[in-house]
Amino acid sequence: MYGLGLLKGMYVVLRNFVESYYKPERLVTVQYPEERRPLPPRFRGFPFLIYDDDSGALRCVACQLCAKACPATCIELTMAKGEDGKPAKRPETYTLDLGLCMQCGLCVEACPFAALAMDHDFERAVIDQPEPLRLGIDQLRRPFSYLEQINPEAANALAPKPAKTAAGAEERPAKSSHGGREVTT
User: Using CB under 8 A as the criterion, which residues of the chain lie in contact with another protein when the complex forms?
Assistant: 1-2, 6, 9-10, 12-14, 16-17, 20-21, 26-29, 31
9 or 179: whose CB is closer to another protein?
9
Rounded to an integer, what distance in angstroms lies between the CA atom of residue 27 and that of residue 37? 14
11 or 177: whose CB is closer to another protein?
11
In the complex, least distance from residue 32 CB atom to another protein, rounded to whole angstroms: 11
In the complex, least distance from residue 31 CB atom to another protein, rounded to whole angstroms: 8
Question: What Rg, from alpha-carbon coordinates, does the chain have?
Answer: 24
To the nearest 10°, report the CA torsion of 76, 82, 83, 86: -110
In the complex, least distance from residue 35 CB atom to another protein, rounded to whole angstroms: 12
13 or 39: whose CB is closer to another protein?
13
| Cβ contact 116:45 at 8 Å | no
In the complex, least distance from residue 10 CB atom to another protein, rounded to whole angstroms: 5
Backbone angles phi, psi at 163, to 5 degrees: -55, -40
36 or 172: whose CB is closer to another protein?
36
11 or 80: whose CB is closer to another protein?
11
Q: Which residues contact 65 (CB under 8 A, 6 or more apart)?
A: 110, 111, 112
Closest residue by Cα to residue 46 from 64, 61, 65, 66: 66
In the complex, least distance from residue 33 CB atom to another protein, rounded to whole angstroms: 10
